[in-house]
Amino acid sequence: MSRSRDAVHEILRQSAAFRSAQDIFTEMRADGSKIGLTTIYRALQALNDDGRVDVLRTDDGEAVYRACATSAHHHHLVCRGCGLTVEVDGPDVEVWAERVGAEHGFTAITHTVEVFGTCGACAKG
């Protein structure tokens, strides 16, 4: 894996929003690339396995990816309008999740936390 993976990674780096496979495919093809959709799926999978991109599911179940600046654990604040995404963290939330899990006798706790809203730009026009 290399050629295509890097190309896909680069597309993600240049976007502040989460992007879908189809979305990336369309952009790359528009830019003249001959890449196949399958390769994009494979690249996204590999990048995610390597922890280089984050993935989340839209309301309708579509997987969308983003190359976040930090590889450390964090969460996202996503604009419902334009997709603009900001990386955020919440130490309190981390503690809360562990505690609520432990209180109920659960182990190996993990969690998903995403915040959505309308960004300043979208709030206007």
Partner DNA sequence: CAGAAAATGAAAATGATTGTCAAAACGGTT
Partner DNA sequence: AACCGTTTTGACAATCATTTTCATTTTCTG
Residue 71 interacts with DNA (CB under 7 A): yes or no: no
When CB distances are held under 5 to 8 angstroms depending on the partner's kind, the choice from Zn ion, a second copy, DNA, none that residue 29 binds is none
Q: 34: which strand partners?
A: none
As a whole number of angstroms, the distance between CA 51 and CA 28 comes to 22
Listed in sequence order, the residues at least 6 apart from 87 whose beta carbon sits closer than 8 Å to its beta carbon are 68, 69, 70, 74, 75, 76, 77
Q: Is 5 in the site for DNA (CB under 7 A)?
A: yes
The minimum distance between CB 35 and Zn ion, in angstroms, equals 28
Q: Distance (Å, rounded) from C-alpha 109 to C-alpha 95?
A: 11
Q: How far is the CB of 67 from a second copy (least distance, A)?
A: 19
User: Which residue, 26 or 58, has its beta carbon nearer to a second copy?
Assistant: 58
- Of a second copy, DNA, Zn ion, none, which one sits near residue 82, judging by CB under 5 to 8 A according to partner kind? Zn ion
Backbone angles phi, psi at 103, to 5 degrees: -60, -25
Q: Strand, helix or coil at 62?
A: coil
* Nearest distance, CB of residue 64 and Zn ion, angstroms: 15
| Alpha carbons 53 and 18: distance in angstroms, whole number | 10
Q: Which is nearer to DNA, 45 or 119 (CB)?
A: 45
Chain residues in the site for DNA (CB under 7 A): 1-5, 20-22, 34-39, 41-43, 45, 60-63
